[in-house]
Amino acid sequence: MFNGVFNGKSVWLSGHTGFKGAWLAEWLLCLGARVQGFALPPATQPSLFQQLGLASRLHHEVGDIRDPAAVKKSILAAQPDFVFHLAAQPLVRLSYEQPVETYSTNVMGTINVLQALREFEKPCPAVMVTTDKCYENREWVHGYREEDSLGGHDPYSSSKAAAELAISAWRRSFFQDHPVKIASARAGNVIGGGDWAPDRIVPDCIRSLQAGQPIGVRNPKATRPWQHVLEPLSGYLWLAALLYDQRSEPRYQKSELGNQRSEVRNQKSELSNQEPVSSSVHRLLSSDLRPLTSDLRPQPSGLDSAFNFGPSHESNRTVAELVVEVLKHWPGSWEDTSSPNAAHEAGLLQLSTEKAHARLRWLPVWSFSQAVEHTVTWYRTTAERPDPGAARELTSAHIDRYTAEACQAGLPWATAGALHPAGVTLPPMNDRRSPPSSKLVPVVQVPPPVGDV
């Protein structure tokens, strides 16, 4: 998978002690990468970093992203082939309490990484991770695109918008003729096993369910683009892989895109008469690719830019709907604890991933219900199996399942040098211990990357 580019390569990863960073570190290790992590100690107890035993499995460096000298020393000493910058202050409500710290971490921390990379002299893709909340939220019913205005009501959101502005400015000012290629990635609300942060709805659910108490929901009507953590991570990895080898990015004329759309529709028609592959594949094919912008002129590059990675439209659900879905897999109850005096949080937020579809041929794999089921299963299983290897075993199993289903869907990142046979039949969701069958099923081929949007 990912053209095998990470095997044996050096990766510098900031924020590896956090929830999303620990998942990415685990996946990189599975891909054969040599990972150097740079982060503060885990902010929670327990933490996924500790549950996966990552301190002994990668080069674990404790450092503060706000320290420019430490960041520069770490990156230049590592001489990485890839850089993933995830270190951040990631909580909206905490940003109201610590606005200066939030800005210094999210904005100046990002600039510190960019400044260190200016002195780098070898080719190196760098993926700078921000958030879907970097957009000026106008409560639109449609998804925000990469060219929409940046902004943010709260310190967290606005700090991520400022980080995006800095990334864009540094890219245009210092990285036009530079061996380092800078891209930014904006993801929707991620869920998954191992998130123990305060003031996040899934960890709050798990803590309440473990204690036998009703789940307090402070913003039940808020709508978010919920996705499993592996969805955006597959996008980050694929974006970095394509940046590493631009030769894997064919260029297409505008007319060719129309032909590819016709091919996708024909494939849908053919598959309608075949035995179902899986619910996730049919979900991916349930509608045509959304209309793209009219300007599809080929560009000499363009992957070194901003990309959204979000779920399908059906995964845009209210917080209340998410909680109800959680309770299907871990019985309990919830109560509305909203307050008119609570700090402002966005009510409606959705992402458009048309650019990732068109440029990377990236698509989400798991449905909303699958993402929630895998998430709750992770927490319940690790709670029932407190042995040290349970979390690592289950995390690896989820990566394997996700990759196998992406292979079934014919997604380019999964089938490029795949370690799993494309089209392998997966065991039923309720039989998680059974290995995948070797029986082959039809594979949906997704067209290769196309021109810029």
Nearest to 312 by CA among 265, 249, 370: 370
- The domain spans of the chain are 2-252+284-440
Q: Share the mean pLDDT of the chain.
A: 82
pLDDT tens-digit series, residues 301-332: 589 999 999 998 888 899 999 999 999 999 99
Q: Which residue has the higher pLDDT, 133 or 54?
A: 54
Please tell me what DSSP assigns to residue 217.
Answer: E
| Phi, psi dihedrals of residue 224, rounded to the nearest 5° | -135, 155
Distances (CA, A) of 414 to 1, 4, 238, 271, 320: 5, 10, 9, 20, 33
- pLDDT of 441 strictly over 90: no
Each residue's pLDDT tens digit, 236-254: 999 999 999 863 343 333 3
H or E element: which one contains 327?
helix 319-327
pLDDT at 149: 87
- pLDDT band at residue 153 under the 50/70/90 scheme: confident
Q: What's the one-letter identity of residue 302?
A: G
Q: At the fourth CATH level, which superfamily is domain 2-252+284-440?
A: NAD(P)-binding Rossmann-like Domain (3.40.50.720)
* Element at 308 (helix H, strand E): strand 306-309
- The SS3 assignment for 183 reads strand
